[in-house]
Amino acid sequence: MGNTPGSDTDEPFYGGIDADEKKTIQDSDDDETFTTETKIGELGDDVPIELFNRIAGFNVVPTPLAYTSRPNLTNFQFITKFPPSKEEVPIISNIKISEDKKNMSFDIGGITFATALTLMRTIKTEVPIMAIDSVAFDTNTTGFHPEIISQRLGLIPLNLNPEDYNFRSAYPGNVPNKKTFEVLSLSVKNQTQHITFALSNDILTIKGKQVNTDKIRITPLIPGSELSLKAEVIKSIGRQHAKWSPGKAFYSHETSTDLTTHKEKILFHFKIESQSSLSAPAMVTKALKILSMPRAGIDNKVYQTLTKISNI
């Protein structure tokens, strides 16, 4: 039976995965067997990182966590560093942006599925925006419970520029003298004889500025009912909660074969939809800025080509 990393025996640990021959890794304590088909999620949290490396075939290094506003998160997480890139020089074409800049599409070739997936996930889960985090109710005589109203408020897009605020948690990108939160208020009462609604354009800042003009319905108000509350807005990312996701990003692909070189070529069709105060091009630009960090693992030539999108 093979020895796990760190055992006291002198017998070497053979945990590498050979492409031509399956090697089995056995845990000496639990007598469990792991093969090349073993899913990483099945290994558990207490698996030695050396074993994870051999099963996954990746080089994994501890990297500082970029964004967090949750105190229960650790300061480090394991981020995969991609193997040497096999990508060609990317080519971007067919860029289309709607008049209101809320929708955008483009085609890109010369990249791998790993890069396409990384770009898509970064746009959806790493680009920060502002959203309501907590709500304090003064009066609520509506038919909706406070929990339901709070959830609805959290999903309302707010016209607040995230660049004007810092993350609540310590983050290297924070700028001195910037606020970490904003306080909003909502106070409405139905003084008519018919049913009305508390709307998103009723939400105001302390200075009386509207943060949403779309007239999104929050809760119905029967005659005489009242809703009064204060809400705290903070800056965060979609990886913590969907309400901090700036919008949608997805792609499809088509494959063709060059008859001369017999090489397979993949063309990715990206579509970006903004559901926040950010425009679709701004979502891509901010995602590319994040991908420029060393932890992203994207090839420099790929990053330089992708940045052309932000110059449109």
194 phi/psi in degrees, rounded to 5 = -135, 170
Whether residue 242 is predicted with pLDDT greater than 80 in this model: the reply is yes
Per-residue model confidence (pLDDT) at position 88: 62
Quick: pLDDT tens for 95-105: 899 999 999 99
Between 31 and 119, the higher pLDDT residue: 119
pTM surpassing 0.75?
no
Give the pLDDT band of residue 178 (cuts 50, 70, 90). confident
Distance CA 96, CA 162 (A): 25
Between 27 and 237, the higher pLDDT residue: 237
Q: Give the architecture (CATH level 2) of 129-236.
A: Beta Complex (2.170)
Classify each residue of 125-156 as buried b or exposed e, where b means 16 or more C-beta atoms within 10 Å of its C-beta.
Answer: bbbbbbbbbebeeeebebebeeeebbebbbeb
Per-residue model confidence (pLDDT) at position 271: 96
Give the pLDDT band of residue 47 (cuts 50, 70, 90). very low
Residue 2 carries which DSSP code? P
Give the pLDDT band of residue 307 (cuts 50, 70, 90). low
The mean pLDDT value of the chain amounts to: 75
Between 84 and 250, the higher pLDDT residue: 250
Per-residue model confidence (pLDDT) at position 176: 78
Distance CA 221, CA 218 (A): 10
Give the pLDDT band of residue 20 (cuts 50, 70, 90). very low
Coil, strand or helix at 233: strand
Pick the CATH number of 84-127+244-311 from 3.10.129.10, 3.30.1360.10, 3.90.700.10, 3.40.50.300: 3.30.1360.10
- Percent with pLDDT over 70 in the chain: 64
| Domain residue spans of the chain | 84-127+244-311, 129-236
Whether residue 262 is predicted with pLDDT greater than 90 in this model: the reply is no
Helix axes 113-125, 280-291, angle to 10 degrees: 110
Distance CA 278, CA 248 (A): 12
- Most confident residue range from 18-32, 70-84, 168-182: 168-182
Give the pLDDT band of residue 63 (cuts 50, 70, 90). very low
